């Protein structure tokens, strides 16, 4: 790229559980390490996008505890060997996972992370309970993944939002939306026959 002044493309592919997500993180860390820019904030922001993408786009499947349920296309912009910006586009997000999961699978990590980390006071503010209480989170069975610290991952997520300049109000709005999704999943509708009584 530097010698020929030509754009370069790196395609990471493979079946579920092959290590695409981890490989992408390693490549990004390498590029950040050899980056000639004196501005560490830009490279830090690029790296901190990963916790955000994983929380909102990864889930436990039968084959993989941290499976990306979407594709992503990451563009890094260089000038004279220095990273000056980045752009990430997602595609084919598995939206159906929000409302239904197979046995032994989970919804997107962010729901479990939020419920594990929020204090009782914060949960009360949004009317939240524990993960097994929600239809959108309990269909797959156990909400826990051995060796995964959902509370710590939520702390990393909020730290990433801070580094990426999400305002507090924006972060609160995200929590409200996530809570709303969980509440909607617990709504049930029943058909009631209404008898009309005529008075003469």
Is 16 labelled a binding residue? yes
Question: Any idea what DSSP says for residue 133?
Answer: G
pLDDT at 101 (0 to 100): 95
Is 17 labelled a binding residue? yes
pLDDT at 80 (0 to 100): 83
Closest by CA to 70, choosing from 87, 52, 53, is 53
Closest by CA to 68, choosing from 102, 103, 18, is 18
pTM as predicted: 0.87
Look at the domain 20-185 and name its fold: Kinesin (3.40.850)
**Calpha distance 141→59 (Å, rounded):** 14
Per-residue b or e along 59-75, where b marks 16 or more CB atoms closer than 10 Å to that residue's CB? bbbeebeebbbeebebe
Q: What are the tens digits of pLDDT across the range 73-108? A: 999 998 888 888 899 998 889 999 999 999 999 999
Is 86 labelled a binding residue? no
Is 82 labelled a binding residue? no
Report yes or no: 80 and 5 within 8 Å, Cβ to Cβ.
no
């Amino acid at each position: 790229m530097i010698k020929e002044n030509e754009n370069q493309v790196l395609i990471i592919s493979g079946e579920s559980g092959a290590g695409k997500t981890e490989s992408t993180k390693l490549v990004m860390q390498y590029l950040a390490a050899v980056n000639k820019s004196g501005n560490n904030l830009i490279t830090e922001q690029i790296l901190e996008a990963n916790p955000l993408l994983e929380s909102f786009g990864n889930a436990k499947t039968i084959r993989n505890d941290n499976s990306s349920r979407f594709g992503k296309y990451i563009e890094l912009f260089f000038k004279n060997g220095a990273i000056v910006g980045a752009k990430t586009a997602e595609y084919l997000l598995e939206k159906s996972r929000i409302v239904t999961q197979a046995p032994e699978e989970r919804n997107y990590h962010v729901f479990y992370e939020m419920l594990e980390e929020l204090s009782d006071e914060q949960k009360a503010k949004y009317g939240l309970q524990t993960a097994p209480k929600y239809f959108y989170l309990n269909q797959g069975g156990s909400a826990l993944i051995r060796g995964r610290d959902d509370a710590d991952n939520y702390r990393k997520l909020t730290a990433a939002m801070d580094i990426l300049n999400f305002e507090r109000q924006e972060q609160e709005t995200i929590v409200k939306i996530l809570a709303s999704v969980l509440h909607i999943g617990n709504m049930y509708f029943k058909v009631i026959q209404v008898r009309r009584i005529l008075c003469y």
